[in-house]
Amino acid sequence: MTKKPIVIGVAGGTGSGKTTVAREIYRKFKDKSILMIEQDAYYKDQTHKTMEERIKTNYDHPLAFDNDLLLEQVQKLLSYEKIEKPVYDYANHTRSKEVITVDPKEVIILEGILILEDERLRDLMDIKLFVDTDADVRIIRRLMRDIEERGRTLDSVIDQYTSVVRPMHLQFVEPTKRYADVIVPEGGQNRVAIDLMVTKIRTILEEKVIL
Ligand code: C5P
């Protein structure tokens, strides 16, 4: 008999450490049955737009994401069907031609800045986390990451942060904290919170109602 997979949502601002929290939980169940879906993979396809238009896009607004596709794919995984997960290309600000085939698993982690914003996604989650890290720490991490890994300049990161990322964080990301079951301070460094989550997931896995 199959049990319904457990869905865990991990939200938090850019640079909050939510990916680290999600990866730490993932690591603990790696030998079992867990998969991770990043909301970033579901940024809307912009291949039809010019590079200039893509650069100007607000990537911190809920409408930047193709949540319909994300929802459809999570529902498939919940029915133990495989999905073709999109791959996002940060350098070109659009979806790449590749897809990754993802097999269903018992535990699904959904991670992203606005993963708790869409009620339809929230309704599928068994546990909702919000990783809460001070804005000064988040901007330092973001600067380092975007320059080292996403090919951005110092000026462009600062400009994007002050004009878009910060206001969108305050308007859309921060308010989703109210939907969280657990607020995790300082993300991936918080061993106690991660251990508590792992214990809780194990308990749900043992208790989960059989379909
Ligand atoms: O990994 P993280 O949660 O920080 O990723 C989300 C961030 O990626 C958003 O704050 C958004 O500004 C940024 N982004 C970007 N360029 C894109 C797509 C997303 O800078 N083309």
Q: pLDDT tens digits, residue range 32-43? A: 789 999 999 999
Residue 126 lies in a domain: yes
Q: From the alpha carbon of 152, which atom of ligand 1 is closest?
A: 20
Residue 31: which domain range? Answer: 6-207
Query: Residue of the nearest CA to atom 3 in ligand 1?
Result: 14
Mean pLDDT (whole number) for 152-167: 96
Closest CA to 121 of 55, 189, 174, 75: 75
What mean pLDDT is reported for the chain?
93
Look at residue 211 and tell me whether its pLDDT is greater than 50.
Answer: no
pLDDT tens-digit readout, 53-80: 999 999 999 999 999 999 999 999 999 9
State how far the Cα of 75 lies from the Cα of 97, in Å rounded to an integer. 23
Residue 1 lies in a domain: no
How far, in Å, is the centroid of ligand 1 from the Cα of 59? Answer: 6
Q: Do β-strands 83-89 and 94-102 pair in parallel, antiparallel, or remain unpaired?
A: antiparallel
Domain count, the chain: 1
Which CATH number belongs to the domain containing residue 132 in this structure? 3.40.50.300
Banded pLDDT at 189 (limits 50, 70, 90): confident
Ligand 1 pocket test: pick from 21, 36, 38, 40 the residue with the most ligand atoms within 8 Å of its Cβ: 40
